[in-house]
A and B are shown apart, each in its own frame.
Chain A
């Protein structure tokens, strides 16, 4: 066991810490205030979100291993440096780099499977936040069984003509582009009939309708396609290879949903809240029942944090077996976060239910918001039940779900 990153990383850590000090307290002139933005302390310095992103790329604090010619930093991929950046930014409470489905999912996919032309065209504006992407995967009848999707694409006169419907499309209303799974080979076996197609959101025939979720914050959309026509070249990989292309990106998504350090930061915010909040004049932190539950959650989050260190270690040290430790992260991370946020609502009682711009709101209503939001994440990206199938089948070697004929 050796938890030191090694002396070669000490200088880098100090460099990042200095950067964080320099930029501590910055605000974005063009960012909406959300329940999550309350974590950042302001010192009045203001900057545009895209300017911040450019600074981070220039320093190599994001897009680190993306080649320079595509607009990245052009450095070596270094998992420990990424970790140091994430940890220091989180500790210093300064905003991290832009994320989202374009940067986190599409860019890695393009780097792996895109043509040279596609890389040149899309990666740079995506990294700089000038081109925002949404993901067109799920459909009303294709959720957990995603590969049964039915949105149809026909190649007519050198164009893909697309008809059908997508759902759960986050950020569709802000996006310039969508990466979309479309059934292009209707006669092929279900997984082999799908292609991965890039669609500009302003294409005629594409209609976006907001799908309001329980948080009532802008979130999901439904997207309808009526003879939406895009050039033949807007495909990543070959016809019928879309399932494999999509699986390359789903891996990127699952890892991103549950940051244990962010969860531990929430535990610490909860502790601060419990020291301030009172019932009958008594601080919540002094009430045994609340103390007990708080420590139980803190222990779970500590275990989850340690688990992620072990997974990190296995990425550096080849041959270390942490198969199950990696597989459980989505399930454990989302369930744990939901439990934590829900407990925070409980300790505040009636006040915990306040929302939006209510008087007497605590911490911007973030506890209630995230309590609901994480219920969404428990379901999205492969439900907890799907995760349990994966763990039992691939982790424990139990029998796979029986296939229904024709599927």
Chain B
């Protein structure tokens, strides 16, 4: 019995963290979010692809690393902690899983190999399946897709896009197809990109198994949720570390503020709230990989609970920094915002908890 990350997983995770520390410090992040470092951002992306980030889950027969979701979860923690300014949850987790579970043999051959070679990258627009805002709607008929997807993740510069209709039928389009209109959105978190996509009679390749089974959409969304939870977990840990560090340096009333119980207790509360989230997220990933019966509920719990905890940590860690926490100078807000977007993506906590109730037939 061993509950935790393996040596391999920790080693890989540390490599990603180290890479981000070296290549993507706060000054770089600031430039990227101001739109002034597209080339550097591309270099960071390429560097992480060299580590294998795009093909973690893709089976070896298609050129991937054939690792499990727990492995990817460990990586996602590092991306959250280091504000990894790259696509991940959508392009490198949800898209390959949808194809692995929903594609026929030919589709798997066609897509997965190219994805592991990085000659193809897919953005994912499932928000209308989870809960459509603005009456947005995706309809797929006769291998044509029409409608509007409001919050497509990892889609900027992606060669392909993936959508689902309300029944969980998933298909893939080329981003350059005629009939596609792309609008860039401006979310608070600018370390990643989000697009609105309008579609009018666009040719779509429907993943064959998804016309009769929801397995692919379920797997894809469950995994996406666990990965986003892990991202918020890493981001929250970064915030606690920063708050504790700052509290040991900043002096008021001739004392470091970290010696005041009001501050110590806030930090202790953050740690006490976050620590069980490690176990929850890893456990959820482990269930995803090994016990499908528990997996859906665990993914819901992981995403909704970590979102709640992270939100509180975002607030408290900012407060520990006092006025400096509120400034752009300190950069605390980058993690606050990353957590904020993770929380709403693929279902806000209330949406997910209702789903968790239905999964249990309540």
Question: Which residues of A come within 8 Å of B, CB atoms?
Answer: 1-6, 80, 271, 275, 285-286, 288, 291-292, 294-296, 298-300, 302-304, 306-307, 309-310, 312-314, 316-317, 320, 322, 324-325, 328, 331-332, 385, 387-389, 391-393, 395-399, 401-402
Contacts and interface: CB of A to CB of B under 8 A. Distances in A.
Contacts of A393: 264
Which 6 A-B pairs have CB atoms at the shortest separation, nearest pair first?
A306-B279, A313-B3, A388-B268, A392-B264, A303-B280, A307-B276
B244 A310 contact: no
Interface string B1-44: 11111100000000000000000000000000000000000000
Contacts of A387: 268
B350 interface: yes
B101 interface: no
B177 to A, nearest CB: 40
Interface residues of B, number: 46
A309 B267 contact: no
A80 B1 contact: yes
A3 B268 contact: no
6 contacts: A294-B362, A299-B280, A303-B277, A303-B305, A307-B279, A391-B272
Contacts of B265: 385, 388-389, 392
Given A271-B362, A332-B272, A295 B1 contact: no
Interface string B73-111: 000000000000000000000000000000000000000
Contacts of B269: 388
A98 to B, nearest CB: 28
B125 interface: no
A377 to B, nearest CB: 16
B357 interface: yes
Of B6, B244, B275, most buried by chain A (CB within 10 Å of CB) is: B275
B324 interface: no
A292 B354 contact: yes
A389 B261 contact: yes
B1 A324 contact: no
Nearest to A304: B276
Contacts of B350: 292
Given A1-B282, A307-B275, A399 B259 contact: yes
Nearest to A323: B275
A5 B1 CA distance: 5
Contact of B286 (A1, A271, A320, A322): A1
Interface in B236-265: 240, 244, 247-248, 256, 258-259, 261, 263-265
Contacts of A2: 1-2
Nearest to B247: A398
A296 B308 contact: yes
Given A292-B354, A310-B3, A393-B264, A402 B271 contact: no
Given A292-B350, A396-B271, A398-B244, A389 B276 contact: no
Contacts of B277: 303
B258 A295 contact: no
B271 A324 contact: yes
